[in-house]
């Protein structure tokens, strides 16, 4: 049986641990929890978006525990534009709607198949 810990893909917890405070872009609350501050307790509901400063205000140990347990989904600062040599893929979303991917989603609104293929063909 192969060792499941081998490989190059980092787990979610490892990505959070390697993300420095300066690289935090913000977070989404996936499961509600109570945050205790000097001003008192505050319940954060699922779906709440936290700014980078709000995430950094959570002690690192608590932040990691919340991220690993799935209560907090921390994301990095916005990535730069994808390199020009990325392959472009047309992805079917269903109901006749398509997206074009080149390292990130290139279109903001769903496209028709013809429009998506035209966008993917442009370099």
Each residue's pLDDT tens digit, 24-54 = 888 999 999 999 888 899 999 999 999 999 9
Phi/psi at 32 (5° precision): -60, 145
- Are residues 63 and 95 both part of a single domain? no
Q: How much of the chain exceeds pLDDT 70, in percent?
A: 79
Residues with Cβ within 8 Å of 27's Cβ and at least 6 positions away in sequence, in order, are 49, 50, 54, 55, 72, 73, 74, 75
- Are residues 22 and 44 both part of a single domain? yes
- Are residues 72 and 97 both part of a single domain? no
- Are residues 27 and 62 both part of a single domain? yes
- 69 located within any domain: yes
- Are residues 72 and 93 both part of a single domain? no
Question: Using CA atoms in the order 60, 66, 71, 75, what is the torsion angle rounded to 10 degrees?
Answer: 40
Predicted local confidence at residue 121, as pLDDT? 83
Backbone torsion region of residue 96, taken as left when φ is above 0, otherwise alpha when ψ lies between -120 and 50, otherwise beta? left
Number of domains in the chain: 2
- Are residues 23 and 58 both part of a single domain? yes
> Are the C-beta atoms of residues 96 and 109 closer than 8 Å to each other?
no
> Are the C-beta atoms of residues 68 and 16 closer than 8 Å to each other?
yes
- Are residues 19 and 61 both part of a single domain? yes
* In the predicted structure, residue 58 carries a pLDDT above the cut 80: yes
pTM: 0.54
**DSSP letter for each residue of 19-30:** --GGGEEEEEES
- Are residues 96 and 49 both part of a single domain? no
Q: Which has more pLDDT, 82 or 85?
A: 85
Predicted local confidence at residue 14, as pLDDT? 57
Q: How many C-alpha atoms does 43 have within 13 Å on its Cβ side?
A: 4
Predicted local confidence at residue 103, as pLDDT? 72
State which residues form the domain around 99: 89-121
């Amino acid at each position: 049986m192969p060792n499941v810990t081998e490989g190059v893909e980092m787990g979610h917890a490892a990505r959070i641990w390697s993300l420095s405070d300066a690289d935090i872009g913000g977070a989404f609350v996936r499961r509600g929890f109570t945050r205790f501050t000097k001003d008192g307790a505050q319940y954060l509901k699922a779906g709440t978006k936290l700014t980078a400063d709000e995430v950094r205000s959570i002690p690192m140990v608590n932040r990691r525990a919340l991220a690993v347990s799935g209560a907090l989904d921390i994301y990095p600062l916005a990535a730069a534009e994808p390199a020009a040599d990325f392959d472009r893929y047309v992805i079917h979303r269903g109901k006749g709607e398509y997206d074009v991917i080149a390292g990130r989603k290139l279109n903001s609104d769903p496209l028709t198949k013809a429009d998506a293929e035209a966008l993917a063909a442009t370099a």
